[in-house]
């Protein structure tokens, strides 16, 4: 068990980071901290994917010196997935930030719970 964990330390770190990001996104009151949590969570997934795609001693799948043998390169698919994921995560972060700006302009706070209580008081 311990040996496995030590061997796959990259995945272990990724999972721990995912947990940290997830709880931050869920439990933080401050919107900015939530968004940071979201980014940690997404990055953890990319770390996980990159760790899966990397094969020790090989290089990025860009043909070098005419070497066409697949044995020299790492698996390109996870890298592609990471790139796609980054695009998604950037756009989601941008959207969240813009929503935060809207909320801040309206209520002058970043605390989501406080906004909710204020909305309930207003009654509509």
Partner 1 sequence: MEIVLNFPCLSILLAMFSAIISSALNRKWARYLNTFVVAAVGILSAAVLWLTITANQSFIYKMGHFPAPFGNEIRFGPLEAGMALFFAVIMLLSLNGGREKIRMEIDPGKEKLYYIMINLLLSSLLALVYTNDIFTAYVFVEINTISACGMIVITEHGRTIEAATRYMIMSLLGSGLFLIGICILYDMTGHLLMEYLYTSISNLMAAGTYRIPMMVAIALIVVGLAIKSALFPFHAWLPDAYGYSTVSSAAMLSSLVSKGYIFLLIKLIYRVIGFEVFYGSRIINVLFVFGLAGMIMGSVSAIRENDIRRMISYSSVAQIGYIYMGFGLGTAAGMVASVFHILSHGATKSLLFVAAVGLTDASGGHKEFDELTGAAYRNKLAGAAFLVGALSMVGIPLFSGFISKLLFAQSAIQSQGKALPALIVLAVSTVLNAIYFMKTVIRIYTPTDKEYEVTAFGYKISYAITLGCFILLNLLLGLFSQPITNWITQGLTILQ
Q: Per rule CB under 8 A, is residue 48 in the interface with partner 1?
A: yes
61-74 burial, b at 16+ Cβ within 10 Å, e below that, comes to: beeeeeeeeeeebb
Q: Per rule CB under 8 A, is residue 52 in the interface with partner 1?
A: yes
Q: Per rule CB under 8 A, is residue 30 in the interface with partner 1?
A: no
Q: Least Å distance between CB 56 and partner 1? A: 17
Separation CA 77–CA 61 (nearest Å): 10
Q: Report the site for partner 1 in 81-120 (rule: CB under 8 A).
A: 81, 84-85, 88, 91-92, 95-96, 99-100, 102-103, 106-107, 112, 115-116, 119
- Is residue 59 classed as helix, strand or coil in its secondary structure? strand
């Amino acid at each position: 068990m311990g040996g496995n964990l030590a061997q796959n330390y990259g995945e272990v770190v990724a999972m721990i980071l995912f947990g940290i990001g997830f709880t931050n996104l869920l439990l933080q009151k401050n919107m900015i901290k939530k968004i940071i949590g979201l980014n940690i969570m997404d990055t953890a997934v990319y770390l996980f994917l990159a760790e899966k795609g990397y094969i020790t001693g090989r290089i990025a799948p860009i043909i070098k010196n005419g070497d066409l043998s697949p044995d020299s390169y790492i698996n390109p698919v996870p890298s592609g997935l990471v790139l796609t994921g980054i695009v998604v995560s950037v756009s989601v972060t941008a959207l969240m930030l813009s929503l935060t700006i809207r909320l801040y302009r309206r209520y002058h706070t970043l605390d989501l719970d406080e906004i909710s209580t204020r909305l309930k008081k207003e009654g509509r």
